[in-house]
Amino acid sequence: MPQENAPTYSLPAPGKRRILILTADAGFGHRSAANAVASALEEKYGDACTVLIANPLDDRRAPFFLRESQSDYDRLVRNMPELYRLGFDASDATVPAVIVEQALTVLLFEVMRDLVRSYRPDVILSTYPLYQAPLRAVMTVYRLSIPIMVAITDLATIHRLWFNNGVDLCFVPTEIARDLALEAGLSPEQIMVCGLPVNPAIVRDQRSPMQIRADLNLREDLLTVLAVGSRRVDRLMETLNVINHFGAPLQLIVVAGKDEELYRQLNAAEWHLPVRLYDYYPNVPELMKAADWIMCKAGGLVVTEALACGRPLMIIDAIPGQEIGNAEYVVRNGAGDLALSGMEVLEATAHLLMDNRWLLRQRTQNAQRLGRPNAAYDIAEAVWGAAQRRAMRWRRGTGRLRLIDLLSRNQVHWEEE
């Protein structure tokens, strides 16, 4: 039976398929991907399924340092980016990854076991890299055949922990990610290239940029730049100062991303162009569709949403590790520029606008080519198919005694069902 401090979950109505989506709150991308797939599932199959989004790290039995890593993520990546990169690189190799997976299996086994017992899902989708190994252990130890799927939330630089060969299907966002999955030992049948799941509302909103600007009471005749900030974006005011004094007929939309200090600075600035300031905006893709290009950090969520909206990027910040890969992917495919200083922002903006905006049009076409706005629907369809079939063809029997020994040696409770 679940322990006293294990969370409880209400079961869906009889006859409905149960879909469990596991996520975490380290940054915005993992939760956003989970919400996007859940929204697509509910839109397409809502009468026949019940979707639960759960964060296993919210369980009090999850180790303190894993729970706190979510709230510490912003502080670490902003104040100690090189330390973050060191940890990322050090664990992103075969032997260290195996050791980390064994540790995660020991630390999260009981949490995962009780989630599975409580909700009894027909399929499990993970949008966080730490869950695959303990989930696979639960399936192996208890001889379960629940399909495990994973949706990766970075574009090109992807940690090895995402690629556990015990998953039934790995949804990767790019061909680069597919190659990394193959190198990590996944078979071609375990990989589906579909993009990173973004809010299905992007597809549903068919308004033109002019219509959206009119609805938002923005100037329809001006080139529009959207700047997306947050607590993890450095030098945004320096960047905006360049746009503010550039001299071209532009208008600016800025979302501070709940960064109170940034929002205060934005309101205190003397603006020389039309500007719309938001502390927080609930539907950033709407603003993206109203804009001609996006200025932002290289986070997987904001980059993918911009591409899904068909808008080029000017990347002004990138955390060492996976975000460098996201930035390189955008630049290499001609869908944006990397501008990490005021001078680089000045040069990139000038290049976009010269020759009757020829480069801006090229960047926009490339962004539209890369964007995969239907990714959440594609993943939802595959998840629903797995829920219908329940057991997939990969068998989970290998290594059971070894896993039981690992759990027993580390005093992790398990018992035959």
> Tens of pLDDT along 49-89?
999 999 998 888 887 777 666 555 555 455 545 444 444 45
Q: With contact defined as beta carbons under 8 Å apart, do 64 and 410 qualify?
A: no
Handedness of CA 149, 371, 300, 52 (dihedral sign): negative
Question: DSSP code of 270?
Answer: -
**Looking at per-residue confidence, does 173 or 402 come out higher?**
173
Range from 8-12, 23-27, 314-318 carrying the lowest mean pLDDT:
8-12
Bridge partner residues of 337 (DSSP): 314
Q: Could you write out the three-class secondary structure of 22-52?
A: ECCCCCCHHHHHHHHHHHHHHHHHCCCEEEE
> Tens of pLDDT along 183-241?
989 999 999 999 899 999 999 999 999 999 999 999 999 999 999 988 777 788 889 99
**CA 383 vs CA 31, 193, 342: distances in Å:** 17, 14, 45
Instruction: Give pLDDT, residue 396.
Output: 47
Handedness of CA 379, 195, 191, 54 (dihedral sign): negative
Instruction: Give pLDDT, residue 220.
Output: 94
Q: How far apart are CA 147 and CA 220, in angstroms?
A: 49
CATH 3.90.180.10 fits 17-198+374-409, yes or no: no
Q: How far apart are CA 50 and CA 334, in angstroms?
A: 41
Return the domain boundaries, the chain.
17-198+374-409, 206-370
Q: Which CATH class is domain 206-370?
A: alpha beta
Mean local confidence (pLDDT), 285-293? 96
pLDDT of 390 over the 80 cut: no
Within this chain, domains 17-198+374-409 and 206-370 share the same CATH topology: yes
Q: How far apart are CA 276 and CA 253, in angstroms?
A: 5
